[in-house]
Amino acid sequence: MTDTILKEGERIDQLFSTDVKIIQNKDVFSYSIDSVLLSRFPKIPKKGIIVDLCSGNGAVGLFASTRTEAPITLVELQERLADMAERSIQLNELQDQVRMVNDDLKNLLNHVPRSQVDLMLCNPPYFKSTETSKKNLSEHYLLARHEITTNLEEICQVARHALKSNGRLAMVHRPDRFLDIIDTMRNYNLAPKRIQFVYPKEGREANMLLIEAIKDGSTDGLKILPPLYVHKDNGDYTDEIFEIYFGKNGRAD
């Protein structure tokens, strides 16, 4: 099946801690550690409705599927990425749990009921559209990384309408957008509750931010979790990251 499901330039990568396989293409889109960390960060409800916005090739939602029986809807605007995600759903035989919606996230309420979603996951474009870091990117990466087709405010607005009261939005983003994220969430009645900064290694500045907010929640009780370090001084994964990738008894081949 794997031979016939792949298109030119594609490969299959596996997150060994979940046994989930993801179709990747380095010229189109490949998930990285931000997707893996986001899929493990929030408490995943066992039942209910889960949505993965800006899903790319489906990695976040597919990784999360191993922790729940809830139906998961992946939403991705780019047809090429959505096609990769659809074939990854088939590859993992998750058609009964996970579905791919190739549409603009602004149209989410055409696909899920208003005020009924329990958890929304989102690995959004990190960069403002005016930033110059977009040079030499393919169109697929350009749209995935820059706020061209969507932005932080639109994502929070969609979350406000789709989430149930006390439903949660979990997002991975960049630390330099921290204040933007907090302000925008609160503007849409999304109360930040859990925040974790991710560092390449000890002694370096944080380069990722994980944040979870609750719709209509109290602004009290915000928790800043312990820092998460990705690498040891020798370049190996830290024990925490190794377990996320390979499981408690896993090993890297």
Is 252 a domain residue?
no
Residue 247: pLDDT above 80? yes
Angle at Cα 203 formed by Cα 243 and Cα 242, nearest 5°? 10
Residue 209 near residue 181, CB atoms below 8 Å: yes
Residue 52 sits in a domain of what CATH number? 3.40.50.150
Is 251 a domain residue?
no
Q: What is the pLDDT of residues 202-241, one digit of tens each?
A: 999 999 999 999 999 988 999 999 999 999 999 999 999 9
Is 253 a domain residue?
no
What is the number of domains present in the chain?
A: 1
pTM for the whole structure: 0.88
Q: What is the pLDDT of residues 157-166, one digit of tens each?
A: 999 999 999 9
Tokens linked to 96:
């009964």
User: What residue numbers bound the domain in which 183 lies?
Assistant: 2-246
Is 78 a domain residue?
yes
Tokens linked to 1:
């099946």
Tokens linked to 189:
């009645």
- pLDDT-derived band at 140, boundaries 50, 70, 90: very low
DSSP 54-93: S-TTSHHHHHHGGG--S-EEEEES-HHHHHHHHHHHHHTT
